[in-house]
A and B are shown apart, each in its own frame.
Chain A
Amino acid sequence: MMSGVSDLDRPSVARLRERDPDTLRAIVDQHGRRLYRAARGMGFSIEEAEDLTQEVFVTFVASIDRFEGRAQVGTWLFGILHHKAQERRRGRAREELSDPIDTVFESQFDAEGAWIRPPVAPDERVAAQEAGEAIRDCLDGLPSPQREVFQLREVEGLPAVEVSKILARTVTHIGVLFHRARARLRECLERKGWGRKP
């Protein structure tokens, strides 16, 4: 897991700036498939995800002189991926400040905060099988910022602080997007009858 301290020592940063092939190979080996996985998780096709991953590394090498070694290489790379993904999505619907999923979530509680429509704990075996089949559909239904936060937090396992740096948003905003993503996924999976015992 990434923290706020760089994962590269000074000699490694220097070698990186000299475009040392072994150092570059180590970084591509360590982060290439992670970036690809994140791009796919954000909803890009196989071809787009491969292109994006290549573009991220090309941009990384082109901007390597600005990398001072204060941040994690992974954070830097995921930040580039975020910008590239945004460029590709330009023209798509912008994120709304209010989200109908908030109303859906809140409607599950009464004035005292008690559950009106209590969730049903999923049958583990059925849930795993059904959610595995349904999750991609449900992920496709998430707005891009929510999907990106969900992917980085839950699949890449990055802490909220790191995700806030990558996406240039406050930690509170990351929490809101994360909550909305989970609420929307949960609603979507429930609509598909997920986890109910036959």
Chain B
Amino acid sequence: MLVSTGQLADAPMTRRIGARMHLAMCRHCRAFRRQIEALVRAAQAAGLAFEREPASDFEERILSCLR
């Protein structure tokens, strides 16, 4: 659950150690973590594609609205 909620890094040290020990022993949870990592990489790649969509004058058009 700590992996799924993204709270592992912020958890108290004892829970972090406990979670890491469990991950070291449980191949299903390691597989789960790898699935999450893979879907995050895919979402980040989709985000990069979005960023390239606007034309080169995108920022200029925003600035013209602010003048």
Chain A residues at the B interface, C-beta cutoff of 8 Å: 19, 21, 24-25, 28-29, 32-34, 36-37, 40-41, 46, 49-50, 53-54, 57-58, 61, 105, 115, 118-122, 124, 127-128, 131-132, 134-136, 139, 150-151, 153-155, 160, 175-176, 178-179, 182-183, 185-186, 189-190, 195
Contact status A24-B63, CB under 8 Å: yes
User: Can you list 19 pairs linking A and B with CB atoms under 8 Å apart?
Assistant: A28-B62, A33-B51, A34-B51, A40-B50, A41-B46, A57-B62, A57-B66, A119-B31, A132-B42, A132-B45, A135-B43, A136-B46, A155-B46, A155-B47, A179-B6, A182-B4, A182-B36, A186-B35, A186-B36
Contact status A132-B44, CB under 8 Å: no
Contact status B46-A122, CB under 8 Å: no
Contact status A182-B47, CB under 8 Å: no
CB-CB nearest in chain B for A114: B28
Looking at A33, A54, A182, A186, the one whose CB has the most chain B CB atoms below 10 A away is A182
B-side interface size class: 35 or more
- With A41-B46, A154-B43, A175-B7 as given contacts, are A119 and B35 in contact (CB-CB < 8 Å)? yes
- With A128-B42, A131-B39 as given contacts, are A32 and B34 in contact (CB-CB < 8 Å)? no
Is B21 close to A, CB under 8 A?
no
Looking at B43, B50, B54, the one whose CB has the most chain A CB atoms below 10 A away is B43
Give chain B nearest CB distance to A106 CB in angstroms: 10
Contact status A189-B39, CB under 8 Å: yes
Contact status A186-B39, CB under 8 Å: yes
Residues of A contacting B44 in the complex (Cβ-Cβ under 8 angstroms): 154-155
CB-CB nearest in chain B for A126: B38
Chain A interface secondary structure, helix, strand, loop or mixed? helix
CB-CB nearest in chain A for B34: A121
Contact status A37-B62, CB under 8 Å: no
Give chain B nearest CB distance to A47 CB in angstroms: 11
Give chain A nearest CB distance to B53 CB in angstroms: 6
Instruction: Give A105 to B32 CA distance when docked, in angstroms.
Output: 12
Instruction: Give A14 to B66 CA distance when docked, in angstroms.
Output: 17
- With A122-B38, A189-B39 as given contacts, are A37 and B6 in contact (CB-CB < 8 Å)? no
Give chain B nearest CB distance to A17 CB in angstroms: 14
Contact status B35-A121, CB under 8 Å: yes
